[in-house]
Every structure is written in structure tokens, then in C-alpha cells.
Amino acid sequence: MLRGGRSPTDPDGGSTAGATGDALAPAGRDGRPTAGITAYQVGSIDIGHRGPIAEIVRTTGMFGEHEIAIALELFDATYGLPSGGADTGDAGEGSDYEFLGLFDPTGVLLGYACFGPTPGTDRGYDLYWIAVTPAAQGGGGGTFLIGEVERRLRGRNARLVLAETSSRAAYAPTRAFYVARGYIEGARVRDFYGPADDRVMFTKRLQPAPRIRGSRGGEAR
């Protein structure tokens, strides 16, 4: 999800194996290797990836220019303004946003995720944005990327991750993507983005739910 925006995803329908950060051979919907891309890798993003990130978000065909601008605002808040802008010496200092890139074996950026801690929560995290280039969709890239985000958050003892999207029909693959990966609809704000366009909030527990003392069923709070 993006503050003020909607979360794009790769509704890939590919492998659901947990990502470990190692290279993964992508598989298509029929389980066969995807032509053209032999493996996925994850790695760090830097200021030089601003242009490729803008292109990835734009080529999904899901977003208007104002939404693309919001995606780049998050990037600039983390890495500083493009060349010719303000001093970037303090870029990223105090930023709550973290970026993780999805790459092919040659280092070409295929997608990215932006996430960060949710203020005022007990180990809660927001998945602000996740996007994969159309050329890599259908081959498990989105699954690999979100799995690596979750693995890293578990390593920090994160408790819960939240992803938000739209209720519009165009976002049905996005909602299905989250559900297929263990997310549940936790809340919905009617007409949030516009008439008949709800804000749908999906959550996933990254740690076992706590038991309530005296409860036989171990119900979660």
C-alpha cells in the first residue's frame, strides 16, 4: 500500500515457496520455467534506480501520473532528490521507508518493494508499495519479492504486516495475490478512494498469535 495510493502487485500465480534471498528460477502458471528470465535475486536499491522504478510503476498501466509521483516521493524521501536538486548528503536519515529490489541475474531491476514500521504499533509494518515489471509478471517474481520482505521482517521480530489496495474490479488480481499468500482482509473503508472504490486492508501475522490466559482455544487478541 502507499499512503494516499494503492498497492500494485505481481499477481503471478507462480511458486509460493518462501524466499530466502538466494536466486530463484521463475515458474509460470503451469509450473514450467518462464522464458527470458532464468533467475530472480533481491538486493539493495540506490538513487540510480529512480528512473527504472518510475518506469516499472508506469508500465503496469494501473496508475495515473499523480500516483506515480507519490511513489517517487517515497523514493526521494529515502534517497534524496535527483541530480540537480537539493543536497542529498543526508538522504535517508530518519526515513521510515525501506526499499528492496528484485533483479535478474545481470542486475536489471525487475521490481521493488517499499515497506517500513507502522508508527504507534507493537512491531507492526506497512507494505507501502510492491510492483513488478510486466515482462516479469506471471513467473513468480512478486511471490519471491514479498516472501523476502516477510523473511526480513520476521528476522526483526515483526508481528504484523499490513497491505492496502482498492476494491475496484481492476484490482481483483491484487487482492487475490494477497489472499493466496496468507493475507486476510482485516478491514474496509467504504468509498475511501471514491464512490464505490473502497480501501481494503489486508494483514498477515508474522509471529504466532498470543494465547489469552484461561482460553482453551488460544484466541488471539
For 33, the 3-state DSSP assignment is strand
Q: Rounded CA gap, 141 and 12, in Å?
A: 7
Residue 87 pLDDT exceeds 70: no
Helix count (H) and strand count (E) of the chain? 4, 7
For residue 95, what pLDDT is reported? Answer: 76
Instruction: Please give the helix or strand (H or E) that residue 127 lies within, else none.
Output: strand 124-132
pTM above 0.95, yes or no: no
d(CA 113, CA 116): 10
Query: Cell for 50?
Result: 529512480
Confidence of residue 204 (pLDDT cuts 50, 70, 90): very high
% of the chain beyond a pLDDT of 90: 62
Domains of the chain from N-terminus onward: 41-205 (3.40.630.30)
Q: Flag whether pLDDT at 2 surpasses 50.
A: no
Predicted pLDDT at 63? 83
Q: Residue 179: what pLDDT?
A: 97
Q: Cell 498470543, residue?
A: 210
pLDDT tens digits for 151-168? 999 999 999 999 999 999
- Alpha-carbon distance of 202 to 31, in angstroms, equals 27
